């Protein structure tokens, strides 16, 4: 059941109920194994953090930063801070010195918890520039401190400041005085344009979000949750908090690149993921089918065909499948589909929330056909994640982003813009009254900037309003919709459309280099490096042919006419990606100005 105890006391309440049951687990890379943390231990660490925060002088509603990849310590700090009415500000583990300095300055941060060497080194440079930063607290004991650094301490040293609970009376007093509209977090959006904005998250917002999900998601205390998206992101953050309220076990994945291995080791029942994860799974299965023997290929294709008929045509529509189809599916469920799930570590699956971008229909169809319980949703940082999601006990339509979360109000405004109201919606951006006034109107509606419509109780997205391109011929293009179609192809890793004020649509393509290189070798195409591969006329012609197949149903003016294959991926270092790996179009357009101009030469 849902524990509705406020965040300041939630972990202690769960510990009283669950005791020595496993609350979290993490992989110890030195020992080469997963280690358990009980609810009692979780509670003990949180209480130490609360006392230590008061010991170092953290005040009510003071902002404390957590600059780390996913670690159990992130949770200890969050809940320890809530216990003393402090505010945590999570930074993405990959944040640059410039980004960290901006956030630290904007929120007047005095204390920063850092994860590993990169975060320590970055935060130390910021500390030397920003005199109000008083101390760094280091999670990883293997971090080498700068010899001139006389103020930073390791997390174990910090926890010792809370031993004997010297300030427990003050902790209890602050917890008693916590107000629903107290700030819990400030979440800085990584922003595809301009400076990031600090979205204010209150305790009221989290409580409303938890209540809204209670009757929608079939989650129980028996579920094991793989956490691999950054805790910094509202999706993973709010989802993980909700799982804690339900008494689930969190498996905290430290390194995102290890998630597939972690899944095989932990066998999670649930995991929040972005569509790109499932696109990679889809591409991997397609590749396996392609390289299988004729008999295996026939079996796998038929299993997916039957799975699509059973799950997509009938089960997702809340209809009973015919007996013959049911028997066929049960056979494949115990053989081909069971093997597929086992190879992914998902044989104990319950369901998998998916959001953060549009899910290609082909990918969503495949995931359901393979018997994987994907729950597609839509939300923003400003809405404490979920606005809508698939409800498992109601009909689900491919391409929708589900039904509204109880408590969330939606209105479709001008230009089909989705407007929001409710207790989960932010009251605004930290220290940015003017920006807040631009997105929250006089009637209290939050303007999302997303276009969409409601049909039969489900919400459908069309595009980001500000991202619409207008060609020189006056036609409007929705780039994200087209890009989503293209990246389904196993030879295409990323695609960025160009169309605004141009006479036709073109695209910059990041291919899947390994697969494309193999195709070139199979077709006796010689190349000395990726640059030569991406410029080879036969290779470009091949990728263009695949794109033409994908875009047949698009209007003529929406179709990509020319492409450039890029020899290296977009990167955070060059400023082309946000911390959540969304493309910063203006930066990409500037960095590849010559390549773009060449595509429009007569």
CATH number for the domain harbouring residue 523: 3.30.300.30
58 and 130, same domain (yes or no): yes
pLDDT of res. 479? 87
353 and 246, same domain (yes or no): no
pLDDT of res. 190? 67
pLDDT of res. 477? 84
164 and 30, same domain (yes or no): yes
C-alpha closest to that of 401 among 387, 422, 385, 411: 387
Helices 336-344 and 259-266 sit at what angle, rounded to 10 degrees?
Answer: 110
110 and 146, same domain (yes or no): yes
158 and 233, same domain (yes or no): yes
241 and 316, same domain (yes or no): no
Is 424 within a domain? no
Task: Answer whether 234's CB lies under 8 Å from 379's CB.
Answer: yes
26 and 140, same domain (yes or no): yes
Other CB atoms within 10 Å distance of the CB of residue 300:
21
Task: Print the SS3 string covering 200-256.
Answer: EEEHHHHHHHHHHHCCCCCCCCCCEEEECCCCCCHHHHHHHHHHHHCCCEEEECCCH
Is 267 within a domain? yes
In this structure, the chain runs to a length of 602
244 and 294, same domain (yes or no): no
Is 418 within a domain? no
pLDDT of res. 197? 92
CA distances from 10 to 247, 413, 446, 495, 600 (A): 10, 38, 30, 43, 59
Total count of domains within the chain: 3
Is 459 within a domain? no
Is 145 within a domain? yes
C-alpha closest to that of 409 among 463, 459, 354, 359: 459
Instruction: List the CATH number of the domain containing 73.
Output: 3.40.50.12780
Is 194 within a domain? no
Strand order in the sheet with 409-412: 409-412, 417-421, 446-455, 458-464
d(CA 457, CA 187): 31
DSSP string, 518-538: HHHHHTT---SSHHHHHH-HH
Which residues form the domain of 148?
Answer: 10-178+217-271
C-alpha closest to that of 17 among 47, 35, 40: 40
Beta bridge partners of 239: none
Instruction: Supply the mean pLDDT for the chain.
Output: 94
Is 201 within a domain? no
Of 328, 348, 372, which marks where a domain is finished? 372
pLDDT of res. 370? 95
d(CA 331, CA 327): 6
C-alpha closest to that of 398 among 371, 370, 360: 360
Of 328, 344, 372, which marks where a domain is finished? 372
552 and 492, same domain (yes or no): yes
Query: Is the whole-model pTM more than 0.85?
Result: yes
pLDDT of res. 363? 93
CA distances from 478 to 273, 447, 464, 558, 591 (A): 24, 19, 8, 8, 22
Residue spans of the chain under pLDDT 70? 190-195
523 and 580, same domain (yes or no): yes
- Maximal CA-CA distance, the chain: 77
| Residues 448-463: tens digit of each pLDDT | 999 999 999 999 998 8
d(CA 240, CA 234): 10
d(CA 476, CA 468): 6
DSSP string, 416-469: GEEEEESTTS---BTT-HHHHHHHB-TT--EEEEEEEEEETTEEEEEEEGGG-E
Is 380 within a domain? no
316 and 264, same domain (yes or no): no
484 and 513, same domain (yes or no): yes
Of 271, 292, 308, which marks where a domain is finished? 271
pLDDT of res. 17? 98
Q: In angstroms, what is the C-alpha Rg of the chain?
A: 25
d(CA 134, CA 97): 17
């Amino acid at each position: 059941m849902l524990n509705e105890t406020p965040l300041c006391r939630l972990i202690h309440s769960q510990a009283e109920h669950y005791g020595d049951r496993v609350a979290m687990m993490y992989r110890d890379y030195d020992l080469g194994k997963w280690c358990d943390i009980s609810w009692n231990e979780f509670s003990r660490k949180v209480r130490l953090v609360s006392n230590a925060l008061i010991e170092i002088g953290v005040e009510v509603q003071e902002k404390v930063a957590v600059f780390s990849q996913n670690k159990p310590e992130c949770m200890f700090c969050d809940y320890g801070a809530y216990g003393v009415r402090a505010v945590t500000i999570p930074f993405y583990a990959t944040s640059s010195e410039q980004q960290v300095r901006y956030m630290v300055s904007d929120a007047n941060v005095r204390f920063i918890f850092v994860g590993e060497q990169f975060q320590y080194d970055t935060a130390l440079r910021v500390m030397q520039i920003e005199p109000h930063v008083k101390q760094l607290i280091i999670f990883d004991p293997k971090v080498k401190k700068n010899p001139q650094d006389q103020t930073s301490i390791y997390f174990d040293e910090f926890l010792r400041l809370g031993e004997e609970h010297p300030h427990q009376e003050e902790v209890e007093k602050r917890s008693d005085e916590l107000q629903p509209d107290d700030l819990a977090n400030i979440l800085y959006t990584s922003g595809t344009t301009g400076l990031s904005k600090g979205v204010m998250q209150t305790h009221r917002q989290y409580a409303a979000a938890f209540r809204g999900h209670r009757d929608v998601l079939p989650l129980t205390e028996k579920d094991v949750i793989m956490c691999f998206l950054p805790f910094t992101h509202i999706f993973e953050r709010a989802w993980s908090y909700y799982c804690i309220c339900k008494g689930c076990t969190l498996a905290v994945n430290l390194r995102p690149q290890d998630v597939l291995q972690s899944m095989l080791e932990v066998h999670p029942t649930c995991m929040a993921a972005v569509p790109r994860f499932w696109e990679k799974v889809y591409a991997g299965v397609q590749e396996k089918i392609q390289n299988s023997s004729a008999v295996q290929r026939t079996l796998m294709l038929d299993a997916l065909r039957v799975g699509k008929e059973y799950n997509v045509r009938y089960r997702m529509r809340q209809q009973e499948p015919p007996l013959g189809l049911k028997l066929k599916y049960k056979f494949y469920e115990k053989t081909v589909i069971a093997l597929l799930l086992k190879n992914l570590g998902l044989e104990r699956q319950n369901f998998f929330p998916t959001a953060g971008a549009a899910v290609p229909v082909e990918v969503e169809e495949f995931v359901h056909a393979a018997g994987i319980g994907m729950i597609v949703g839509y939300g923003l940082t400003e809405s404490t994640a979920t606005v809508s999601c698939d409800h498992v006990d109601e009909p689900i339509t491919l391409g929708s982003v589900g039904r509204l979360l109880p408590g969330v109000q939606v209105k479709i405004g001008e230009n089909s813009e989705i407007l929001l109201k409710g207790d989960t919606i932010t009251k605004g951006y930290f220290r940015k009254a003017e920006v807040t006034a631009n997105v929250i109107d006089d009637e209290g509606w939050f303007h999302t900037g997303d276009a969409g419509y409601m049909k039969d109780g489900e919400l459908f997205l069309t595009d980001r309003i500000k991202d619409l391109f207008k060609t020189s011929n006056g036609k409007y293009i929705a780039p994200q919709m087209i890009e989503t179609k293209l990246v389904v192809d196993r030879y295409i890793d990323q695609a960025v459309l160009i169309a605004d004020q141009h006479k036709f649509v073109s695209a910059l393509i990041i291919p899947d280099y390994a697969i494309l290189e193999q195709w070139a070798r199979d077709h006796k195409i010689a190349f000395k490096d990726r640059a030569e591969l991406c410029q080879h006329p036969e290779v470009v012609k091949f990728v263009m042919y695949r794109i033409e197949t994908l875009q047949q149903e698009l209007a003529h003016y929406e179709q990509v006419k020319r492409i450039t294959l890029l020899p290296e991926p977009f990167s955070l270092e060059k400023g082309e990606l946000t911390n959540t790996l969304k493309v910063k179009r203006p930066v990409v357009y500037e960095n590849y100005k010559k390549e773009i101009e060449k595509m429009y030469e007569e």
